Structure 1
Amino acid sequence: MIFGLKLSHLVAGFIAVLLGYTSSVAIIFQAIDVLGASQAQANSWMLALGLGMGISGLILSLRYRMPILTAWSTPGAALLVISLDGVPVNEAIGAFVFCGLLLTLTGLTGWFEKLSHLIPDAIGNAMLAGILFQFGLGIFASTEDNLPLVAVMGAVYLAGRRLFPRFAIPAVLLAGCVFCAVTGAFDSGAAVDLSLARPVFVMPALSLPVLIGVGLPLFIVTMASQNTPGIVTLRAAGYAPPVSACVTVTGVTTLLLAPFGGYAFNLAAITAAICAGPEADDDPDTRYRAVVVAGLLYCFVGLMGAAVISLFLIAPKALVVTVAGLALLNTIGTSLHAALAAPERREAALVTFMTTVSGIGFLGIGAPFWALLLGIGTGAVLTGRRSRTLAPDRRPA
């Protein structure tokens, strides 16, 4: 143990960064391509995003001693892919700055924190279980891609949970890497770019149509599809995150880094669940150290530009999906149990869970937001109905 860091902190932080990049970096590249940015600007985007996630996560986790991990807005990147076509780079940057301003004002006013307290615990846990459910399914879907690899990792996981539960996930990751190295599953033919990223400043330009058509939707998607699940994830793990401070820090980070390509930052959900669960540390008070590791790795990846990203991308998909799914199994089970424990909330929780798993989306906003609305609405109707049904008969005898 060095500087209070345990092996579990190192592994959880590494898995969070690995999952964060491999799961959505391709979408970022698509957005950059649609915008027509130069290679230097593309490297600057990855530098800004890596440093933004790393520094904001380090600030929040060290200040509040909680596993508060931040991330780029993945739904926001998907939105950019379909909305940046034909938009000049400087006007796109102006939209990013506008989004950062809205995020900052949202954090400073505190209205989002007040709204977040209206989400019942059962509904929040059901949404979290639904978000993570696909990662659990990914373990079994990966058997079609590489059955021997998944079987080896699954066997090591079971043995680890039985014999050395605290080190089960590190053992799974090590076994998967060794298996891939021995069988040649790593993509050895992929080119590795060793260039260092340099910041490229783009002067923002304000265009009302772009602000309304790109900046405002980017803000809404980031808040609804990223920050809300991020808060729920931390609360489901037993923490009381400072919501307004978190949104303010990510908003200011977006404001500062938007001219360099840091289009939107927010609270992480899926990767945060890895750092906030018992696999990261048995002691909830020191799990934040896994985020410290992740934050430092994010900064390193950002500074190295495309070089480290290339290394991330040579790993077979089955390795990444399986280790992430196994690392999240305990969190999925705990969330489902908490969501369905109270009979009076069970139907509402099921509606929330199934809506989240369905993956539906309207108005550019993903399933978790609509799952919350449907779950809260269902709970309000059924709770009111049960209250009337169970009310004592007060008619005069």
Structure 2
Amino acid sequence: MVTAVVGFGGSFTVVLAGLKGAGATDAQAASGLLVVAVGSGVVALVLGLRTRLPISIAWSTPGAALLATAGVPEGGFAAAEGAFLLCGLLIVVTGLVPALGRLIASIPGPIAAAMLAGVLLDICLAPVRALHDVPLMAAPVIVVWVLVTRFARPWAVPAALVTAVIAILVAGSPTGAEHLAPTLEFTSPAFTPAALIGIGLPLFLVTMASQNVPGMAVLAQYGYRPRLRPILLSTGLATLAVASFGGHAINLAAISAALAAGPDADPDPKRRWIASVTAGIGLAVLGLGAGLAAALLVLAPPVLVEAVAGLALLGALAGALSSAVSSAEGREPAIVTFVVTAAGIAFLGLGSAFWGLVAGLALHFAFRRRAQA
């Protein structure tokens, strides 16, 4: 249950900010949060029961951060949903074609980390902007986050979120109670080249590099080595199932995976799968409150919502930056990737994450050829 609460409370604001950044209405964003939470819970339940391994499933938090910075694509949120479908399809194909997985794994680690850092930078600056724009609301959130981080790190973001909710309720009261019940908003996806290449492809790459690969590494750290193919197939199919309702990507959990796979879940490694199954059920139940979460955040200044999301992603940003510059040999291509991605400027309708990856890989191969010469 701790895994579910930390996983949901620590990053659902990122999902809502990302979906709204991609053009979703409040109702569509709430629907998207609902389906990725329930979808993740169902996949975790099925995989846990079938494999008897603590396989934690979550939504793609870095993917949501990508959406928050990519901007509304041409064609609106329907085009973004088309990109979600492409992401799910590519995950399924990766599970079916091992060579594609090896190709993704061949992307230099510093470049992949730099692209993620560039995606995260803008939203991680939100706490500073919020402190300037709404200091009376943002300051208590940041102070609580700092204090709880010092004494109980896993609960820091949920505590900051509770503080933000209190500040929101003090400033106003929730309205539109008829919209608080769980509702699904179906939108017919649209397929535009700019959204497919500029959002769908980077979403797939970020999800693979920042969720699925680290998720497998966390499981291996605790002695679990599940087959990757069933995981990719199930999460890819789940992503396809939820995309038309606003769900962006379902994948292996990376950060919260350690909570269910570690010794705190159970001294007996053979019984820890119970924790991942329970976390999946808890996540699905929490997802039913997506309407209430969206309604509360509608009352908040957008920058305050982004600030909570930014606090949730600071650790991911630190890890990505560290990985990006860890190797002196690949530092320049990684920095170029980071700068181009963080610039947030689209060319030819394609987002900066795509161009950051292209620029970094081009420089990587140019430097490698020069070294060989």
TM-score normalized by structure 2? 0.71
Based on CA coordinates, which of the two structures has the bigger radius of gyration? 1
CA deviations 1:86-128 (Å, max 9, x no partner) are xxxxxx9999989866764454234431221111111111112
Is the Cα–Cα contact under 8 Å of residues 144 and 163 in structure 2 kept in the other structure?
Answer: yes
Consecutive unaligned residues of structure 2, counting only runs of 5 or more, are 221-225, 266-271
147, 154, 169: which one pairs with 2:157? Answer: 169
124, 147, 156: which one pairs with 2:112? Answer: 124
Consecutive unaligned residues of structure 1, counting only runs of 5 or more, are 34-41, 86-91, 205-209, 389-397
Is the Cα–Cα contact under 8 Å of residues 31 and 78 in structure 1 kept in the other structure?
Answer: no
Q: Residues 116, 174 of structure 1: CA spacing in aligned structure 2 closer, same or farther, 3 A cutoff?
A: same
Q: Residues 152, 297 of structure 1: CA spacing in aligned structure 2 closer, same or farther, 3 A cutoff?
A: same
46, 52, 55: which one pairs with 2:42? Answer: 55
Distance 1:47 1:165 in 2: 26
Structure 1 partner of 2:268: none
Which residues in structure 2 correspond to 1:11-30 (within 5 Å)?
11-25=6-20, 27=22, 29-30=24-25
Is the Cα–Cα contact under 8 Å of residues 123 and 306 in structure 2 kept in the other structure?
Answer: yes
TM-score normalized by structure 1? 0.67
Q: Residues 386, 58 of structure 1: CA spacing in aligned structure 2 closer, same or farther, 3 A cutoff?
A: farther
Is the aligned partner of 1:136 residue 2:113? no
Structure 2 partner of 1:375: 360
Is the Cα–Cα contact under 8 Å of residues 231 and 243 in structure 1 kept in the other structure?
Answer: no
Distance 2:117 2:277 in 1: 21
210, 213, 222: which one pairs with 1:233? Answer: 210
Identity %, equivalent residues: 27
Q: Residues 46, 376 of structure 1: CA spacing in aligned structure 2 closer, same or farther, 3 A cutoff?
A: closer
Q: CA deviation at 1:67?
A: 4.7
Q: CA deviation at 1:179?
A: 4.2
Structure 2 partner of 1:153: 141
Q: Residues 170, 263 of structure 1: CA spacing in aligned structure 2 closer, same or farther, 3 A cutoff?
A: closer
Is the Cα–Cα contact under 8 Å of residues 352 and 374 in structure 1 kept in the other structure?
Answer: yes
Q: CA deviation at 1:84?
A: 5.8
Residue identity in the other structure for 1:144: H
Q: CA deviation at 1:297?
A: 3.9
Is the Cα–Cα contact under 8 Å of residues 194 and 306 in structure 1 kept in the other structure?
Answer: yes
* Larger CA deviation: 376-385 vs 289-298: 289-298
Residue identity in the other structure for 2:335: L
331, 334, 337: which one pairs with 1:349? Answer: 334
Q: Residues 146, 94 of structure 1: CA spacing in aligned structure 2 closer, same or farther, 3 A cutoff?
A: closer
Residue identity in the other structure for 2:120: L
- Secondary structure, counterpart of 2:249 in structure 1: strand
Q: CA deviation at 1:366?
A: 2.5
Is the Cα–Cα contact under 8 Å of residues 14 and 293 in structure 1 kept in the other structure?
Answer: no
Structure 2 partner of 1:10: 5
